[in-house]
Amino acid sequence: MCRVVDLRQAVLAKNDRCAHDLRADLAGRGTVVINLLSSPGSGKTALLEQELLLAVARGVPVAALTADLATENDALRLARSGAPVKQVLTDGLCHLEAGMLSGHLEGWLPPQTRLLFVENVGNLVCPASYDLGESLRVALASVTEGEDKPLKYPTAFGLANLVLVTKTDIAEAVGFDEALFRRNVQQVNPGAPVLLTSARTGAGAGALLDAALAVADGTAAHAPVMARQHPHPHEHPHDHEQGHGHDHNHDHNQGHDHDHEHRHASAVPRPHA
């Protein structure tokens, strides 16, 4: 017999559960994850090199995991800081998932790590959908990428707890309009803090490290509007007997006044586990 069955399951439920467990597990060990998202070439690695060096100099136990489709170039650069670094090769996959990260940390992450920086695959589309169990999600954009980057990639910038501008040393040469960039960030992510940095001149050095340490010490990160939706999917599937060709068309109340147990339906960064 042909039947239409309500499933009401979040597609990313498995990743979200995994991210939630990882965040809780790491919190128990005193570790927080910082997820860095940007397009290729925006300067994630150069910025991270600088922040790791500073952390090591200040005696902050940090580690970094960097993901690319190929080459160990980034890990070699980051390892010069002296911090534990791991290169993950995704074999063509465009993003990291929580289960992948969890697997890579096993047997590698030093137990006393305070901050784990994850340099996601250079891509502003796909990584945005996956919560990795981070406590701070940072979207980066270099001054050469255009002030409208946050509008073109609203999910990446809209779900960030912090937005970071890189390569400000050449801002004037490329005619970067900082006010316009900030307005565009505010449009998709009202209230999001924006930090300006240049790995070349050292401007804004330590700003990312300080932001990460503040979150690790319990300061609430900025909560993006886009991450605050509660879609209330039903956890329990309930069956509806249906004849052949009968349209399954009844209305489900998807209002926002439910007070029953629910799960978040989408992958969103949650500042605190």
Partner 1 sequence: MHEMSIAAAVVGQVEAAAEAAGAFAVSSVRLQVGELAGVVPDALRFCFELACTGTVLEGAALATELVPARARCAPCAADWAVGMPPDLCCPTCGTATAELLSGRELQILSVRWEDGPTRAADREPIHEER
**Binding residues for partner 1 (CB under 8 A):** 1-15, 93-95, 97, 125-126, 128-130, 150-152, 154-155, 158, 186-191, 225-226, 228-229, 231, 233, 237, 242, 248, 254, 256, 265-266, 268
Instruction: Work out how close the CB of 255 gets to partner 1 at its nearest, in angstroms, rounded to a whole number.
Output: 10
**Closer to partner 1 at the Cβ: 5 or 57?**
5
Those residues whose C-beta lies under 8 Å from the C-beta of residue 251, and which sit 6 or more positions away, are none
Strands 136-142 and 194-196: unpaired
Please identify, using beta-carbon distances, which residue of 201 and 254 lies nearer to partner 1: 254
- Collapsing DSSP to helix, strand or coil, 186 comes out as helix
Residue type at position 189:
N
**Min. distance of Cβ 190 from partner 1 in angstroms?**
3
**45 vs 155, beta carbon nearer partner 1:** 155
Shortest CB 144 distance to partner 1, Å: 20
Which CB sits closer to partner 1, 6 or 178?
Answer: 6
User: What distance in Å separates the CA atoms of residue 34 and residue 137, rounded to the nearest whole number?
Assistant: 6
Least spacing, CB of residue 95 vs partner 1, in Å? 5
Which of residues 17 and 200 has its CB atom nearest to partner 1 in the complex? 17
Tokens (6 digits) for 30: 């005193």
Contact predicate 272/222, CB 8 Å? no
- Minimum CB–partner distance for residue 6 and partner 1 (Å): 5
**Beta bridge partners of residue 162, listed in sequence order:** 138
Measured from the CB atom, is 3 or 80 closer to partner 1? 3
The minimum distance between CB 56 and partner 1, in angstroms, equals: 34
Q: What's the CA gap between 265 and 252, in Å, rounded?
A: 16
Q: How far apart are CA 80 and CA 3, in angstroms?
A: 60
CB 152 within 8 A of CB 217: no
Residue 41 CB contacts under 8 Å (≥ 6 apart), including other chains: 122, 142
Between residues 110 and 237, which has the closer beta carbon with respect to partner 1?
Answer: 237
CA distances from 40 to 52, 67, 68, 131, 169 (A): 20, 12, 10, 20, 19
CB 78 within 8 A of CB 117: no
- At its nearest, how many Å lie between partner 1 and the CB of residue 239? 8
Phi, psi of 268 (to 5 degrees): -135, 145
